[in-house]
């Protein structure tokens, strides 16, 4: 390997020379440059070439040519896991900074070569144009759940993901961020977030160790904000994962998911943030991770604040771009502190027959209330090692729908709800709750934890119930296995509401014309009142 090094000024000359389309061994009508705080990306024809800046920023060190070659290779290895069609190879750049030659030796620089896609397909840009749909968030959550599920856990002797490592990384953010800011208000915002983060860390310290022991620390993407996800063929494809610092990608899987949640919150789309989060939790079953979610959202906000501050202070930035970067830094700091302070635990249970639209209601409610939903149909199957869409081949009253299985299912739902409430989040338990004792147990849970409680009774006509069940059986894409026979048996077996339940019950009529109860404004206002969410 050549020992030649290329410092930052020489790299700038190199990048300027590579703006000449004649330097490329393939057609390139024009070359476009994108600059980040750590790299230059040259868009030429069908390809993109990414050159790492010869910088030492503390959390990365690209100052030697050998380091840049190594991290180019790492970028290919890591990103092919999620985007194999985008990441191609590492290209040597020979010649000299003024007259570079792609593919030549000896090497004066290296670049990651990628298959180019339109920057207009990045999810941050699509979201700003209103082009991201709910199904894209569901697909992204499913992709991330599969990716995390296929990764090996960190070795027992590794320091990755330890409480001490998390604390050190958290403090490093603030130590690197503070010198980049000068305004007293900005410095106070950093100090306020640091104080709140220290409190949150102390509350989570034990859980960090437990989750590491449970295998939750894995070699993740590490930088999963919307600007690093492209919609290709209508599928969200994460790219540009972290290669330069192994400690920043060997992280708790909930840390990874929290980055996307934070980014959606920052872009003022809380309904999408909680849709994504709930889809991820439902796919993984990692509801225990919610106990550290608040910490990680604030941590990720601090990371983006630091990145924005670095950009604002870099040479060559226009005044407008620097001002925009500084404004972004401030908004991230504000989000981090506000999210740590947001504790609004409340318990909502659904009530209704198969086909009434309980899950439709719960989906709307979790997006409106920024809540976490637990589905009985999914958790029942998870207890028995079945996928949500699997056919259990059980009839009502037997197999996974037997009395003991049902008791176990509701006990599991109660356990999960308790965890969510203690973590400070609203919890929605999506189940039939047709028996008085089942409802009573959850009302008592809310009472024990001193949190608001509400029953969302979802109703639909007989014709609608039957039509939905038939359609659901035809489509075979839902966790529920209830057929018409089950509906009839449950109609006969359901127990009426008790007088003491009326005061905490809100009825939602879920016929097709009511848009799944979402348009029922009086019902939502009443639910907010019961939960203490008014104003």
Domain with residue 73: its CATH number is 3.30.200
Is the pLDDT higher at 107 or at 475?
Answer: 107
**Mean pLDDT value across residues 60-83:** 97
> Predicted confidence band at 480 (pLDDT cuts at 50, 70, 90)?
confident
Residues 314 and 375 placed together within one structural domain of the fold: no
- Tokens representing residue 354 in the block: 């198969």
Residue 512 has pLDDT above 70, yes or no: no
DSSP state of 368: H
Residues 291 and 212 placed together within one structural domain of the fold: yes
Residue 346 has pLDDT above 50, yes or no: yes
- Cis-peptide, bond into residue 106, ω within 30° of zero: yes
400-425 per-position pLDDT tens digit? 899 999 999 999 999 999 999 999 99
Whether residue 2 lies inside any domain: the answer is no
CA pseudo-torsion sign 407, 412, 418, 420: negative
CATH number, position 284: 3.90.1200.10
d(CA 497, CA 500): 8
Whether residue 470 lies inside any domain: the answer is yes
**Mean pLDDT value across residues 382-394:** 89
Residues 232 and 84 placed together within one structural domain of the fold: no
What's the pLDDT at 396?
76
What's the pLDDT at 518?
54
Residue 96 has pLDDT above 80, yes or no: yes
Residue 2 has pLDDT above 70, yes or no: no
Which of 286, 310, 341 is the last residue in one of the domains? 341
CATH number, position 419: 3.40.50.300
d(CA 362, CA 343): 20
d(CA 346, CA 369): 10
> Predicted confidence band at 180 (pLDDT cuts at 50, 70, 90)?
very high
State how many domains the chain has.
3
- Between the alpha carbon of residue 279 and those of residues 220, 362, 367, the distances in Å are 18, 12, 11
Whether residue 3 lies inside any domain: the answer is no
Q: Percent of the chain having pLDDT more than 70? A: 97
Whether residue 43 lies inside any domain: the answer is yes
Instruction: Name the residue range of residue 13's domain.
Output: 8-116
What's the pLDDT at 481?
76
Confirm if 167 and 198 have CB atoms less than 8 A apart.
no
Whether residue 68 lies inside any domain: the answer is yes
Residues 377 and 426 placed together within one structural domain of the fold: yes
Residues 141 and 279 placed together within one structural domain of the fold: yes
Q: Which residues contact 319 (CB under 8 A, 6 or more apart)?
A: none
What's the pLDDT at 520?
59
123-159 per-position pLDDT tens digit? 999 999 999 999 999 999 999 999 999 999 999 888 8
Strands (E), 300-434: 346-351, 372-375, 426-430
Residue 519 has pLDDT above 70, yes or no: no
Q: What is the mean pLDDT of the chain?
A: 93
Q: Percent of the chain having pLDDT more than 90? A: 86
Q: Residue 242: which of 391, 367, 79, 85 has the closest Cα?
A: 79
Residues 112 and 130 placed together within one structural domain of the fold: no
Residues 386 and 496 placed together within one structural domain of the fold: yes
d(CA 290, CA 255): 10
What's the pLDDT at 45?
96
Residue 514 has pLDDT above 70, yes or no: no
Residue 517 has pLDDT above 80, yes or no: no
What's the pLDDT at 59?
81
Whether residue 64 lies inside any domain: the answer is yes
Residues 519 and 406 placed together within one structural domain of the fold: yes
**Mean pLDDT value across residues 94-119:** 96
Residue 277 has pLDDT above 90, yes or no: yes
**Alpha helices in 85-232, H assignment, sequence order:** 123-128, 134-149, 163-177, 184-213
Whether residue 141 lies inside any domain: the answer is yes
**Mean pLDDT value across residues 62-89:** 97
What's the pLDDT at 4?
41
What's the pLDDT at 5?
43
What's the pLDDT at 6?
46
> Predicted confidence band at 3 (pLDDT cuts at 50, 70, 90)?
very low
**Mean pLDDT value across residues 17-37:** 94
33-51 per-position pLDDT tens digit? 999 889 999 999 999 999 9
Confirm if 287 and 374 have CB atoms less than 8 A apart.
yes
Based on its alpha-carbon atoms, the radius of gyration of the chain, rounded to whole angstroms, reads 26
> Predicted confidence band at 375 (pLDDT cuts at 50, 70, 90)?
very high
Which of 61, 81, 116 is the last residue in one of the domains? 116
Which of 68, 84, 116 is the last residue in one of the domains? 116
Calculated CA dihedral for residues 486, 491, 493, 498, nearest 10 degrees: 140
Residues 279 and 361 placed together within one structural domain of the fold: no
What's the pLDDT at 124?
98
**Mean pLDDT value across residues 75-84:** 98
- Tokens representing residue 87 in the block: 């990441």
Residue 475 has pLDDT above 90, yes or no: no
Q: Residue 248: which of 233, 259, 238 has the closest Cα?
A: 259
């Amino acid at each position: 390997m050549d020992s030649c090094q290329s410092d930052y000024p020489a790299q700038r000359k190199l990048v300027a020379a590579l703006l000449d389309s004649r330097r490329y061994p393939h057609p390139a009508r024009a070359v476009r440059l994108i600059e980040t705080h750590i790299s230059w990306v040259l868009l030429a024809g069908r390809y993109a070439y990414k050159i790492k800046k010869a910088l030492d920023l503390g959390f990365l060190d690209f100052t030697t040519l050998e380091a840049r070659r190594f991290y180019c290779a790492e970028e290919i290895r890591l990103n092919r896991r999620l985007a194999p069609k985008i990441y191609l190879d590492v290209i040597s750049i020979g010649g000299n900074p003024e007259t570079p030659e792609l593919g030549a030796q000896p090497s004066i620089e290296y670049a990651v070569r990628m298959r180019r896609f339109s920057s207009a397909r990045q999810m941050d840009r699509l979201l700003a144009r209103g082009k991201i749909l709910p199904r894209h968030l569901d697909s992204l959550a499913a992709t991330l759940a599969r990716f995390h599920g296929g990764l090996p856990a960190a070795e027992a002797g590794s320091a990755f993901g330890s409480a001490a490592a998390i604390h050190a990384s958290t403090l490093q953010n603030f130590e690197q961020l503070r010198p980049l800011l000068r305004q007293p208000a900005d410095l106070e915002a950093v100090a306020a977030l640091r104080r709140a983060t220290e409190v949150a860390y102390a509350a989570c310290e034990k859980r960090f160790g437990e989750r590491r022991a449970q295998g939750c620390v894995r070699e993740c993407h590490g930088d999963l904000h919307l600007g690093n996800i492209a919609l290709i063929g209508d599928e969200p494809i994460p790219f540009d994962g972290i290669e330069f610092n192994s400690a920043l990608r060997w992280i708790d899987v909930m840390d990874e998911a929290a980055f996307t949640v934070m980014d959606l919150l920052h872009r003022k789309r809380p309904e999408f943030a909680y849709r994504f989060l709930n889809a991820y939790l439902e796919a993984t079953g990692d509801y225990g991770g919610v106990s550290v979610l608040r910490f990680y959202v604030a941590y990720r906000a601090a990371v983006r604040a630091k990145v924005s501050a670095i950009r604002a202070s870099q040479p060559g930035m226009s005044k407008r771009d620097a001002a925009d970067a500084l404004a972004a830094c401030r908004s991230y700091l504000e989000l981090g502190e506000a999210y740590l302070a947001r504790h609004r635990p409340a318990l909502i249970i659904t009530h209704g027959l198969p086909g009434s639209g309980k899950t439709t209601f719960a989906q709307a409610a979790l997006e409106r209330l920024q809540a976490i939903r637990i589905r009985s149909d999914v958790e029942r199957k998870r207890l028995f090692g079945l996928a949500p869409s699997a056919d259990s081949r059980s009839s009502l009253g037997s197999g996974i729908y037997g009395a003991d299985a049902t008791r176990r299912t509701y006990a599991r739902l109660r356990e999960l709800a308790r965890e969510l409430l203690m973590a400070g989040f609203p919890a929605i338990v999506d189940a039939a709750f047709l028996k008085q004792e089942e409802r009573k147990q959850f009302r008592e849970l809310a009472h024990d934890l001193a949190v608001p409680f509400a029953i969302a009774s979802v109703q639909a006509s007989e014709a609608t119930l039957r039509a939905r069940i038939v359609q659901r059986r035809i489509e075979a894409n839902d966790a529920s296995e209830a057929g018409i026979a089950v509906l009839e048996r449950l109609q006969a077996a359901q127990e009426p509401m008790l007088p003491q339940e009326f005061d905490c019950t809100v009825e939602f009529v879920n016929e097709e014309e009511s848009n799944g109860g979402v348009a029922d404004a009086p019902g939502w206002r009443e639910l907010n009142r019961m939960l203490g969410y008014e104003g």
